Amino acid sequence: MKELIRLIIGDFYINSNLHSTPSSLLSYIRQTEEYANLKLAIEEARITYEDIIEFTETLQETWKRGYHFSHEGAIAAMATVLYDCGDDRMAEELATYVCQEMPLARRVGLLLI
């Protein structure tokens, strides 16, 4: 689970929130060590889709209507890694979100599917 935690702390957390377009966020995600580590953990079955959904639900506890969701980059990263591992469920779900608090994550989902 440390691969998931690394998405919400340190450099990844800071840098993922600096992107203003979905394509730049997607490009950034795929170049990071966090992406590579999470992808490997999924491929080795150390982290499952259910683990990611549970982690996402935990992050959503910090959600506040009307404020940018600070873990938007982590949500987009998890959807990207799952998609690149052949599981498009999270990307498809993300693409359906319409909310001002996560404007880029939805568009990353749309780029993926």
Res. 106 pLDDT band, cuts 50 70 90:
confident
pTM over 0.85: yes
Residue numbers of the domain that contains 58 = 2-112
pLDDT in tens, 36-80: 999 999 999 999 999 999 999 999 898 888 898 899 999 999 999
Q: Over 52-97, what HEC string results?
A: HHHHHHHHHHHCCCCCCCCCHHHHHHHHHHHHHCCCCHHHHHHHHC
Count of structural domains within the chain: 1
